Amino acid sequence: DAGVTQSPTHLIKTRGQQVTLRCSPKSGHDTVSWYQQALGQGPQFIFQYYEEEERQRGNFPDRFSGHQFPNYSSELNVNALLLGDSALYLCASSLVYGQGADEQFFGPGTRLTVL
Amino acid sequence: AQKITQTQPGMFVQEKEAVTLDCTYDTSDPSYGLFWYKQPSSGEMIFLIYQGSYDQQNATEGRYSLNFQKARKSANLVISASQLGDSAMYFCAMREGWNSGNTPLVFGKGTRLSVIA
């Protein structure tokens, strides 16, 4: 049973460019959440997708957008990259009706460097 | 206001000793869950232990236990018999609500644990 997978592992972009990160959730999970983890910080919630719609959003600008496909996989897009967007981007999958100890399973992350 | 506070940026522990990592939280929701994750240098967040706000007993998972003091709003992680492989970042996180499969996690800033041989 494959866990959460993310691609690519590492990415280097320059300011002003656009980037797309990809995530495949754990088998059986229907909800995908994206987190940004800056160096030395804890992960911060970007947004969450369920049934191909953005359901919740954290305090991130519109430059951050996403998509969920019918197979539950998801993409995170960031436009007009800034130096401050350099971070580890984590994808987590879960069940929308999960309760209590039902956890979010995290992928290995994509490390984005903006030069 | 910060919902999860981890006051120890870094901790050192001797191999085979026990160590406590501190976590305090803030919420007005009576239903919530507290999680601890381990993040090695590879970056993946590894789930360690969970404590629900209505759980009467402290959670335990192998060498991990959670010292849950509800009145003090603290949820400290205790690692017994530390091993070199325990060296990593440790994050405390909270999820508010019970039917909360779609509620995002709020994380603290983490504590870097270093186990010394």
Dump pLDDT digits (tens) for B27-56. Answer: 999 989 999 999 999 888 999 999 999 998
Among B33, B44, B102, beta carbon nearest to A106: B44
Q: Do B78 and B23 touch, CB atoms closer than 8 A?
A: no
Backbone angles phi, psi at A41, to 5 degrees: -120, 165
Q: Which of A42, A95, A109 sits opposite B101 (nearest CB)?
A: A95
What's the confidence (pLDDT) of residue A83?
97
Q: How many CB atoms lie within 10 A of CB B53?
A: 19
Tokens of A97: 């009706």
Least confident window among A27-41, A64-78, B72-86, B88-102 = B88-102
Q: Do B43 and A97 touch (CB under 8 A)?
A: no
Q: How much is the pLDDT for A86?
A: 98
- Nearest by CB to A94, which of B93, B101, B110? B101
- As a whole number of angstroms, the distance between CA A15 and CA B51 comes to 42
Per CB-CB distance under 8 Å, the chain B contacts of A56 are: 102-104
pLDDT category at A103 given cuts 50, 70, 90 is confident
Instruction: Tell me what pLDDT residue B98 has.
Output: 64
pLDDT at A28 over 90: no
DSSP string, A41-76: S--EEEEEEETTEEEEE-S--TTEEEEE-TTS-EEE
Question: % helix / strand / coil in chain A, to the nearest 5?
Answer: 5, 50, 50
